[in-house]
Amino acid sequence: MRRLKGLVVDWVLLTLFLLMVEFLALSFSGSRGPTGLLVTPEETLDLLHYGWCAALGLLVAIAWQSLRGVRRESPGHALIFGEETDEAIPWTHTLRGWFTALLIELTFLTGWLITEVQLFDFLTQFNKATDIVRGLVAENVFALFLRNAGEVPAQSADVLHQGLVLLVQTIFLAFMATAFAIPVAFAMSFFAARNLTRTTSLSRWMYTLVRAVMNITRSVEPLVWALIFISWVGIGPFAGVLALWVHSVAALVKLYSEQIESIDHGPVEAITATGASTLQVLRYGVVPQVIPPFLSFTIYRWDINVRMSTIIGFVGGGGIGYILKPRVDLGQWGEVGTLVILIALTVWAMDIISAKIRERIV
Amino acid sequence: MTTEAVRVEGVSKVFDPDIQALTDVSLTVEQGEFLVVIGLSGSGKSTLLRCINRLIDPTAGRIWLFGEEITAAEGARLRALRTQIGMIFQQFNLVRRHTVMSNVLSGGLGRASLFGSLLMRYPEEERRRAVAALERVGLGGRGGSRADRLSGGQQQRVAVARALMQQPKLILADEPVASLDPALRHSVMRHIESLNRDEGMTVVCTLHDVDLVQRYATRLVALRDGKLVYEGGPSDFDADTFRDIYGADAEPATDMLLGTEGATP
């Protein structure tokens, strides 16, 4: 069984290795697609021989598994069975070391091609973006210092006013989402902590269930949740609160439960030994140990929610994003800049405040 | 009415994966005894103690507590039996962020009302008892300090007060002085001895130091590799039996027989 696990690891690694080799070979040979043009990286991905690579990978993996000795051992074997020797052998002296190094190099090269990295454009074409940057920065910053108050266009003052009002909404939106998330995440985190859910089969089931639901919830972007809740409760800040709430619960359950898993087991033993019931053991043995980190995580989450709630408005979930989106679409960079600066100042302030509070309680 | 406090019959414990911590251990502890369990680290002493109050479930074998089989008890019955067993740990295991008072009060959780204890409210009588327990271990007036502000020796005395608060009939002490400064060992051991002599509690205690064994034990058992290898009185315990139990490798430990370690008053 363990040898099989090692074999699977080797198989996956070798298949990836072969696929990347083929991808790079195709890319650098400049092969042409059906249209006669040079193939793009995406088209190259379609041309790879996945089946053949997997088959060849399996063969090599089996062959490698049969090799023994530290210097020739396969990565999978070493990973599952651990090092077979005490002496420290530098990676350059093992087959596995060279293979791993090459795999990392290949991954980086493949990544470079697939994401179409263009270093030259990045370094030389800044002038194409100057309009936007000038709008974002210059029109706002210089307006403050260089122009007389009377010369500020009425439009800009209007955006500033609207922005400030919606900023208040944004902060409260984030606050309410966090506040609603705390009790739910707190209760659920105990079921999501491995060390508390080992005793009965019911609790093991709860662990698996809570973990699964939370992982799925967390992997759905808040923007998607916002769309769901906008249909549910209508356009407006409450939909945004719900979207951030769901996402915060999932994130906090993960952070909380990992904290619970890392507690000192001693007090739990001591309280259990007095004949206390499960709830009492949690109250005395677990809760006192996790309260400070929980507070810290929660404030950090509020901080994240403030940043996210600016985006939630893009789809109609309330907050400052609601007036930001149309201005981005229309390219009104001066007004976008005003709003972005407002958001930046808020996030900055939140960051300072939350850092100070966390410093105090931990 | 039986006079035995604990009866252990054929207890074995295997931890995942394949670590045999205890093998077929049988022993009886009479009421009022101060039984000391010795053995090397990893010989199964802590596991044996934790099997007695079911912090660890034995793989095989049965254990009786004052005539009732604790290995057959579950749920509320198990908790009720546990209230009769106080436990003292090497690492004190106090709730570090709570006050000393709250830690002592937690000894009475087994009889506290669920709702009150979750809100950390206790009846006046329990508070008085806790104050008395603290005074008893020489920490009167320290009830308001946070537990982790105290020194190691003081923290262990809080743990003794917590056990006293519990009013058990049996005390399990797992290396109670191993983490303490040698000079402080007797101060804690004397409090445990007082639980045994003045309160009539039976004590099962694991120890490392031979001078402590000879000073406090009324009877002695030894474990090696999870098996019971010695049973006898503290006076039968000499350098030869010590080597038998700890093996020839433990030669330097004979220094302890001369009492060079620990501050005997």
Residue ranges, comma separated, of all CATH 1.10.3720.10 domains in chain A are: 150-361
Residue in B87, B89, B118 closest to A283 by CB: B118
More confident residue, A188 or A158: A188
- Cβ distance of B110 and A275 shorter than 8 Å: yes
* pLDDT of B260: 39
Q: What is the mean pLDDT of residues A192-198?
A: 86
Q: What is the mean pLDDT of residues A227-244?
A: 92
- Cβ distance of A266 and B114 shorter than 8 Å: no
What is the C-alpha separation between B177 and B185, in angstroms, rounded? 5
Long-range CB contacts (within 8 A, 24+) of A292-296: A292/A361, A292/A362, A292/B97, A293/A259, A293/A362, A294/A186, A294/A256, A294/A259, A295/A357, A295/A358, A295/A361, A296/A358, A296/A361, A296/A362
B93 close to A (CB below 8 A): yes
Residues of B in contact with A295 (CB under 8 A): none
A273 close to B (CB below 8 A): yes
Residue in A270, A279, A291 closest to B93 by CB: A270
B83 close to A (CB below 8 A): yes
Residues of B in contact with A274 (CB under 8 A): 82-83, 86-87, 106-110, 162, 166
B110 close to A (CB below 8 A): yes
Mutate to test the interface with B, among A195, A274, A286 (most CBs of B within 10 A): A274
Are A106 and A21 spatial neighbours (Cβ–Cβ below 8 Å)? yes
> Which residue do the tokens 């000879």 mark?
B214
- Cβ distance of A276 and B109 shorter than 8 Å: yes
What is the per-residue pLDDT across B111-135, written as a single tens digit (0 to 9) for each?
888 888 888 888 999 999 999 999 9
Q: How, if at all, do strands B68-69 and B34-38 pair?
A: unpaired
Long-range CB contacts (within 8 A, 24+) of B123-130: B127/B101, B129/B165, B130/B101, B130/B104, B130/B105, B130/B161, B130/B165
High-pLDDT (> 90) share of chain B, %:
51
Q: Per the structure block, which two tokens stand in for B14?
A: 């295997």
Min Cα separation A211/chain B (Å): 24
What is the C-alpha separation between B104 and B30, in angstroms, rounded? 28
- Cβ distance of B81 and A279 shorter than 8 Å: no
Q: How far is CA A50 from CA A24, A28, A76, B251, in A?
A: 14, 19, 21, 65
Q: How far is CA B168 from CA A152, B195, B220, in A?
A: 80, 10, 22
Average pLDDT value for chain A: 86
Min Cα separation B216/chain A (Å): 24
Residues of A in contact with B89 (CB under 8 A): 266, 269-270
What is the C-alpha separation between B35 and B205, in angstroms, rounded? 6
- Cβ distance of A270 and B82 shorter than 8 Å: no
Question: Identity (one letter) of the amino acid at A90?
Answer: P
Residue ranges, comma separated, of all CATH 3.40.50.300 domains in chain B are: 4-84+169-257
Residue numbers of A between 280 and 299 with CB closer than 8 Å to B: 280, 283-285, 288-289, 291-292
- Cβ distance of A269 and B89 shorter than 8 Å: yes
Residues of A in contact with B112 (CB under 8 A): 280
Q: What is the mean pLDDT of residues B63-70?
A: 92
| Range in A121-130, A142-151, B59-68, B104-113 with the lowest mean pLDDT | A142-151
CATH entry, B4-84+169-257, from 3.20.20.70, 3.40.50.970, 3.40.50.300, 3.20.20.80: 3.40.50.300
Q: What is the mean pLDDT of residues A312-333?
A: 85
What is the per-residue pLDDT across A287-310, written as a single tens digit (0 to 9) for each?
999 988 898 889 888 888 888 888
Residues of A in contact with B55 (CB under 8 A): 269, 272-273
The CATH architecture one would assign to domain A150-361 is: Orthogonal Bundle (1.10)
High-pLDDT (> 70) share of chain B, %:
92
Quickly state the pLDDT bin for A31 (edges 50, 70, 90): low
A361 close to B (CB below 8 A): no
| Range in A77-81, B45-49, B199-203 with the lowest mean pLDDT | A77-81
Instruction: Please report the ipTM that was assigned to this predicted complex.
Output: 0.88
Which range, A118-122, A282-286, A337-341, has the best average confidence (pLDDT)? A282-286
B90 close to A (CB below 8 A): no
Provide CB contacts within 8 A for B194, sequence distance 6+: none
Characterize B79-115 residue by residue with b for buried, 16 or more Cβ atoms within 10 angstroms of its Cβ, and e for exposed. bebbbbbbbbbbbbbbbbebbbbbbbbbbbbbebeee
Quickly state the pLDDT bin for B259 (edges 50, 70, 90): very low
Residues of B in contact with A291 (CB under 8 A): 97
* pLDDT of B250: 61
- Residue A359 predicted with pLDDT over 70: yes
| Range in A10-19, A36-45, A95-104 with the lowest mean pLDDT | A36-45
What is the per-residue pLDDT across B198-209, written as a single tens digit (0 to 9) for each?
988 999 999 888
What is the per-residue pLDDT across A236-290, written as a single tens digit (0 to 9) for each?
899 999 999 999 999 999 999 999 999 999 999 999 999 999 899 999 999 999 9
Residue numbers of B between 13 and 52 with CB closer than 8 Å to A: 50
DSSP letter at A39 equals P
- Cβ distance of B82 and A277 shorter than 8 Å: no
| Residue B196 neighbours by CB distance under 10 Å | 19
* pLDDT of A68: 74
Residue numbers of A between 292 and 331 with CB closer than 8 Å to B: 292
A272 close to B (CB below 8 A): yes
Quickly state the pLDDT bin for A43 (edges 50, 70, 90): confident
